[in-house]
Structures are given as structure tokens and as C-alpha cells.
Amino acid sequence: MRILKTSPSEDGFMMPAEFSRHSGCIMIFPHRRDSWQNGAYAARKAFAEVINIISLSEKVTVCARYEDYDSARKMLPERVRVIEMESDDSWARDVAPTFVTNGSEIRGIDWGFNAWGGLHDGLYFPWDKDNKMARKLCDVLDVDVYDKRSFILEGGSIHSDGQGTVLTTEACLLSGGRNPQLTKQQIEQELKNSLGAKKVIWLKSGIYNDETNEHVDNICAFTAPGEVVLAWTDDESDPQYEMSKSCLDILENSTDACGRKIKVHKLPLPKPVTITAEECAGLDDMDGEPTRTPGERLAASYVNFYISNKHIICPQFDDKNDKTALEILAKLFPTRTVVGVYARDILIGGGNIHCITQQIPAI
Amino acid sequence: MRILKTSPSEDGFMMPAEFSRHSGCIMIFPHRRDSWQNGAYAARKAFAEVINIISLSEKVTVCARYEDYDSARKMLPERVRVIEMESDDSWARDVAPTFVTNGSEIRGIDWGFNAWGGLHDGLYFPWDKDNKMARKLCDVLDVDVYDKRSFILEGGSIHSDGQGTVLTTEACLLSGGRNPQLTKQQIEQELKNSLGAKKVIWLKSGIYNDETNEHVDNICAFTAPGEVVLAWTDDESDPQYEMSKSCLDILENSTDACGRKIKVHKLPLPKPVTITAEECAGLDDMDGEPTRTPGERLAASYVNFYISNKHIICPQFDDKNDKTALEILAKLFPTRTVVGVYARDILIGGGNIHCITQQIPAI
């Protein structure tokens, strides 16, 4: 594995869209007791369900800590590869490499990771094990890696259409816990250099109370070149309404890198999901403080789906909109089978199905 | 990865000779402070020299503990793959899988490992991390694994000619710390079933004071079908003389699985190598006892070489026979380049170059 100090774009590499073909997917076996209730047991079952579906059409590599290897191996299908790797938590989207390609070769980007905000407003400390994963995953996969550790970024805060357009949110990328020493223009340039992009579309915000500082992958995702889904509510009294509306306005007034107007498909949100006292009691404290408080609103959104080679795996919340979300996605992805996975036990950890996956593009 | 309960031979798999083509080699980055002097620093340099040469013609995968990954990555060439994996010590020959093939597929054998004798006369406790490595390595390599954990065996205690003949020693395989519940005949049958062998040649003993209970790979190795090198001394006052002589007698009166008489090439031993007080002082105690005592004779032997696709990597001891050993091996391996590596810092750990490697056959 070479550790490269150049940028992908200057080497002719770019980030493909998630709906392009994958050679595999990286995930992490959950374990963190202040993120996942009851010793992560319920989360493991939900992760396993997601892994099971993805592995029907992609080689899934699951990172497990030394002490979790046997449990992971027992819980997961034979066709899944389990590898030993230390981690602080289990959000592959944010700690695994972002993969770029030139059409004949794959390389990884090793961004700096500081637990969604470091000492400014990050979610746990320390985060060194997570921060080391991207490089080690490139080593396991035997692909070269771009050293971008000096730039703080999580994979969940970007989406690429594979044709030069990147989606992100100001709430996250301009937050004080990421790269406050850089201007918006400098951050945009780094995204272009690293992802091989020509244009960055900046949404203002993401999902209400999303503790990642509002990652784009919870509110908006490309479904095809020039087309996105946007998490939506018609309830003007919900703080989410203004947030989604501002995204809609920006998207409807944007063109992508190819000059196309963006077609926006609204994906209804579930009713606000809040954590119960019983669920909170199943979470270990962190530094002596409760991780969550009963009644806290969780950042539930159907947009947090994963596009595998053959499936769309979409979170479900036991909500009346569950079925509607699946129907909308089925129309937008006619060549894939849409599968819902009940994901409350992933949501409690602070993210959802997209957040726990990272695709490896095919070449 | 499938975990198989059958035996390789019934599935049409067998263990190729080390001199057949490899697709790669597995090694482990040393760290154990009671095995390697001065925090394993000198051993790491010697391992790195070996890795460097092997990696000229094979993909080398080096297992490093979480805390050693960065040091390993820095010390080793880019072309080497470093993966995170816990271990108790660093003897890949004995803890990595023994690989078998049917010509179109590779599978691993996961033997039981108990630190060369378990509670009977093993060398450290616990050994659970080592014992788990073979299966995890098969998972990383995405090959199926035979579950032979109920049979205690180290890779260093067997050699295969790839044509149905296996070499081993009674001193090791019949020792009370391996499989005392099995008869010699049952052990031989397990070797045949697992390695796809037709004939097992049982040498009585190995190298004097070899703490592995005298692994065969320190005294005798196939150089071609029907040909072996045997560690030899002409000094009849050395306890090694009778040990080597008994091996010679057995070999000269044996035929291999193909009915050939075995041709024995004597490889002279270096003068007895003993550990110094200064070296002992660089080793941590184990359970409050010194690991080694000054003046202790180490099991130095030139037979403990590794056959890579393009090189023979042979230990050197700053001895007058160093050059002779290289010359003999050069004649026996005319298509490979013979390279000597000064290996005192590996020998102090209790083995040598062959012991720290495990080849993955090519298909």
C-alpha cells in the first residue's frame, strides 16, 4: 500500500455514485455500550439483517474487535468476510475510506476523523481507533491510500453523483468542530480535489437534532444523475419543515456539474421518533453522564438507505409512512429490489443503514 | 468462509511442497518482551530483512497487533500488506493455517495450538490469541477452513513433498503435550487425512535443546521430490551427533510415497550457539522466572530456511559454516537465489526463518 500525498483529482481519480456497481461493502460489528442498548445485542441483530441482504449481491467485509470476532462469525453468513480490527464505534460510512477510481484502479481516501466534532462538539473521546481504520482497511484491501488526515471529514457528509457533482451541508462542513481554520471556498476546493468533482451543492441543513451536525446522507441522496430524494414533512409546525424547505429551494435553483436542473423527489419523514426511558436505561453512561435522555428526538429518516448492487435497504420505523417510502424508492430504482429493515435499534445509536455501510466501487 | 468438519484428503485436497509456487506468505510482527530482547526491536529489524526479501517475489501479509500497526507499516516496504491481528507471539509457521489445495482452490487447516505443549511443557500461557489466528487468517484471505482444533499440531512439525510424503519427528508429535490420547497410528492417520499424504516418515528427533520438542523444520527439509537436507555435525562428542545420525539412518532406509529412495544432503551445523548474559538481561521475565539463562544452548540450524518463489532465505550465525551452508543450498536450488540473513535475533526467540513464515500455495 502506498500512502499518497497527492490528491485524487490530479491523479485522474474520482468518487463514483453509490448507484454505480460495487465490488463490496465495509461494515463494523457494533459493541459500544454507550451507543447501543443492552450491550449492543439488539443492534447486532439489526446490523446482521442489513449485512445479510447486502451480502446477497456484494462481498461484505465486517470489522470486528478481537473479542467480538467469534460472536460476529457466528452471527453472520458464511459468505461474509469478518476481519479483526479495533474500533471506537461502528459507523463505517464515517470511518472507512471513501473510495475513488480512475476506471482501472481503486484507491481509498483516509480523511481525518474526530468523532463528529472533536473537542468542540464531538460525540465521544478518544476516537483514535476509529481514525486509524481507513488506512488499515486500504492495507487489507491492498489498495493505495490518500493521506487526507489533516482534513476532517466523514463519508456521511458527502454524496457524489459520479459525474462531477457533490452534495453536502453547511451545518456539518462549516461547523466549528471540523475544519474551522478553512474558509468555505477552501473546503469546497478540497472536496473537488479529493472527490474529482466540478461542482459542490451546499445545502444549509440536514435532519433536526441530527448529532452528526446534520450529515447530508440523512436528508438528501442521489438516486440517478440529476435526481435526488429529499426527506420531507408537510407539517409546518415541525422545525424540520423549514430545514427541508430550505434544501428544496436550493436544489430547485441548482444545476449539477453537467448543467442539468436537479429533479427532487420528496420522501416523507416518519412521525418524530423519540427514545424511551427503558431504552435510555439500556445505554451505559458516558463520562458519568447519560448518553441520551428519555423523550429525546432521534434523527429518523428514510433517506438513510443503502444502495447495493441488487437492493435498496431502507430503514423502517413502524410508521404509517414506512410503506410509502418503500414504494417511492421502488419507482426510483426499478432495477433493484427495495427491502425494508426495522431500524429502531440502529437509530438509537445515532444514525441509520447508510451510516453503517461504505461501498467499494467495482472497476 | 465455510468452517468445514470434513478432512482435506476426502475432499481431494493436499499440502503442496514448499518449493512449489506460492501466491503469498504470512508473517507476524514480533512484540513479546519475554521472547525478544529489548522490546523486540532487534527482532523486528531481522524480521523486516526477511520480509523484504520474500516480498520481492511473493505478496507478504504481516499480522500486527493494534498497537504495533503504525510501527510495522513504517518499517516494512509498501509492497507488503500489514493487517491488524492480535497474537501471543510471532511464529506464523505454527499458528497460521497450513494451506492445502486441489489444484483450483486453496483451503486452510486450523489446527489446535497450545504453545508447544500446553500445560504439560508449553512455553507460555495463555495462548488463546495465537490459537485463533489460523481461522481469522482464512477469513481475511476469504478461503474455507478445516476445523482441526481438536488435534494439536504446529506447521513447523511437518514437511510435505507435495507428492504424498510427510516428514515429522516422534519427539514432537508423540510428546505428552500434543495429543497424548492418540496412538502413533492415529496421529499418522490424521496427518494423512489432513495433508492428503500416503506415507509419513517418522524421524526420532530434531535439534538438541529445541524447545518446540524438536520440530522437523529445524533438522530436515525437502529440497526436491525424493531429496532432503539434514542438519549434520561430525563432532561425535556433541549430543546432536547421535540425533542427526539416527535421522540419517532412518532416511537412508526409507522410501517416499512414490517408492523413491531418499537422497540425503548433509547441511553442516554451526558451532553451538549460546545466549549471553547481556542478551538474557534484555528479555522480560515470564511469570517471575527468567526466560533463558546465560550460556543456554540455542537450537541454531541452517535447515530453518524459507523457500520463496525466487529466493532461499537462510539463517546466518557469524560462523565459519555460514558460507558452506549457502553454497550447498545454492547447488540444491539452482533456479533460486540463496540469500543469508544474520538471524541471531530471531534464534533468541526460539526458532528461525522458516518458523516465522507460512507460505500460501499458488493455484
Please tell me whether the peptide bond between A126 and the residue prior to it is cis, using omega within 30 degrees of 0.
Answer: yes
Please name the member of A1, A69, A73 whose beta carbon is closest to the beta carbon of B81.
A1
Strands (E), A161-255: 165-169, 199-203, 220-224, 227-232
- Residue B136: closest CA among chain A residues belongs to which residue? A83
Task: Over range B182-201, report the average pLDDT.
Answer: 98
- Evaluate whether B268 touches B324 at the Cβ level (below 8 Å): yes
User: Residue B288 above 90 pLDDT?
Assistant: no
Pairing of strands B220-224, A297-298: unpaired
In terms of Cα–Cα distance, which of A2, A26, A338, A321 is closest to A139?
A2
Q: Is residue A82 within 8 angstroms of chain B, CB to CB? A: yes
Q: What local confidence, expressed as pLDDT, does residue B306 receive?
A: 98
Mean pLDDT, to the nearest integer, of A213-239?
98
Is B66–A129 a contact, with Cβ atoms under 8 angstroms apart?
A: yes
The mean pLDDT of A247-268, rounded to a whole number, is: 98
- pLDDT > 90? residue A42: yes
Question: What is the pLDDT at residue B287?
Answer: 85
What angle is formed at CA B217 by the lines to CA B216 and CA B222, rounded to 5 degrees? Answer: 95
Per-residue model confidence (pLDDT) at position B262: 98
The DSSP code sequence of A240-266 is: HHHHHHHHHHHHHT-B-TTSPBPEEEE
Burial code (b: 16+ CB inside 10 Å, e: under 16) for A167-200 equals bbbbbbbbbebbbeebeeeebbebbbbbbbbebb
Q: Is the pLDDT of residue B352 over 90?
A: yes
**What is the mean pLDDT of the segment spanning A325-334?**
98
State the pLDDT confidence band at B213, using cuts at 50, 70 and 90. Answer: very high
* Partners of B60 in the β-ladder: B25
User: Average pLDDT for residues B263-289, to the nearest whole number?
Assistant: 96
The verdict on a CB contact (< 8 Å) between A86 and B85 is no
Q: What pLDDT does residue A276 have?
A: 98
Q: Look at strands A273-274 and A263-268 and give their pairing.
A: unpaired
- Nearest CB among A73, A135, A142 relative to B81 is that of A142
- Cβ contact, residue pair A84, B136, below 8 Å: yes
| Average pLDDT rounded to a whole number, residues B19-44 | 97
Q: Is the pLDDT of residue B88 over 90?
A: yes
**pLDDT tops 90 at residue A213:** yes
* Binding-face residues of A in 131-190 toward B, CB within 8 A: 132, 135-136, 139-140, 142
User: Are residues A202 and A141 in contact, defined by beta-carbon separation less than 8 angstroms?
Assistant: no
Cβ distance B139 to A81 less than 8 Å, yes or no, reads yes
Residue A158, burial from CB neighbour count under 10 angstroms (0-12, 13-18, 19+): buried
Residue with cell 430524494: A229
Max distance between CA atoms of chain B, in angstroms, equals 52
> What are φ and ψ of residue B120, in 5° steps?
-75, -60
- The answer to whether residue A355 is catalytic is yes
Choose, out of B84, B85, B128, the residue to mutate when testing the contact with A (most A CBs < 10 Å). Answer: B84
For chains A and B, CB pairs below 8 A equal 53
**Cα B133 to the center of its chain, rounded Å:** 15
Say what the pLDDT of residue B245 is: 98
DSSP string, B273-307: EE--HHHHHTSPPBTTB-SS-TTPEE---TT--EE
Q: What is the structure's pLDDT at A220?
A: 98
Query: Strands B59-64 and B81-84, how do they pair?
Result: parallel
- How close is the nearest chain B Cα to the Cα of A334, in Å? 32
Residue B176 near residue B121, CB atoms below 8 Å: yes
**Which of the 8 DSSP states describes residue A16?**
P
**Cβ–Cβ of B140/A136 closer than 8 Å?**
no
pLDDT for A16 equals 98
The pLDDT tens digits of the residues spanning A49-96 come to 999 999 999 999 999 999 999 999 999 999 999 999 999 999 999 999
Query: Is A136–B86 a contact, with Cβ atoms under 8 angstroms apart?
Result: no
Residues in A touching B2 (Cβ below 8 Å):
78
> In which band, very low, low, confident or very high, does the pLDDT at A198 lie, cut at 50, 70 and 90?
very high
Determine contact, residues B326/B352, Cβ cutoff 8 Å.
no
Query: In this complex, do B139 and A2 lie within 8 Å of one another by their Cβ atoms?
Result: no
**How many helices (H) does chain B have, and how many strands (E)?**
12, 19
Task: Enter the C-alpha cell of residue A60.
Answer: 461484505
Looking at the DSSP bridge assignments, the partners of residue A229 are A221, A265
Out of A73, A81, A136, the one facing B69 most closely (by C-beta) is A136
Distance between the two ends of chain A, CA-based, in angstroms?
A: 18
What are the chain A neighbours of B108 within 8 Å (beta carbons)? none
> What element of type H or E holds A192?
helix A184-195
Q: What is the pLDDT of residue B44?
A: 98
With CA atoms as reference, report the closest residue to B16 among B316, B298, B288, B362. Answer: B362
CA angle (A207 as vertex; A201, A211 as ends), nearest 5: 105
Question: What is the phi/psi pair of residue B97, to 5°?
Answer: -65, 150
Residues 6+ apart with CB under 8 A from B208: B238, B239, B240, B243, B297, B299
- Per-chain mean pLDDT for chain A: 98
pLDDT, tens digit, 9 for 90 and up, residues A229-257? 999 999 999 999 999 999 999 999 999 99
Q: If you average pLDDT over every residue of chain B, what do you get?
A: 98
Distance from C-alpha of A214 to C-alpha of A200, rounded to nearest angstrom: 17
pLDDT (0 to 100) of residue A288: 86
Q: CA–CA separation, A86 vs A137, rounded Å?
A: 11
Q: Tell me, what's the pLDDT at B113? A: 98
0.90 exceeded by pTM: yes
Tell me the per-residue pLDDT of B227-275, one tens digit each, with 9 for 90 and over.
999 999 999 999 999 999 999 999 999 999 999 999 999 999 999 999 9
Give percent of chain B above pLDDT 70.
100
- Residue A200 to residue A321: CA distance in whole angstroms: 31
Residue by residue, DSSP assigns B218-233 as GTEEEEETTEEEEEE-
Q: Do the strands A145-152 and B22-28 form a parallel or antiparallel pair, or are they unpaired?
A: unpaired
The answer to whether residues B116 and B107 touch, using CB atoms and an 8 Å cutoff, is: no
Average pLDDT of B101-106?
Answer: 98
Q: Is the pLDDT of residue B334 over 90?
A: yes
Paired strand residues for A199:
A165
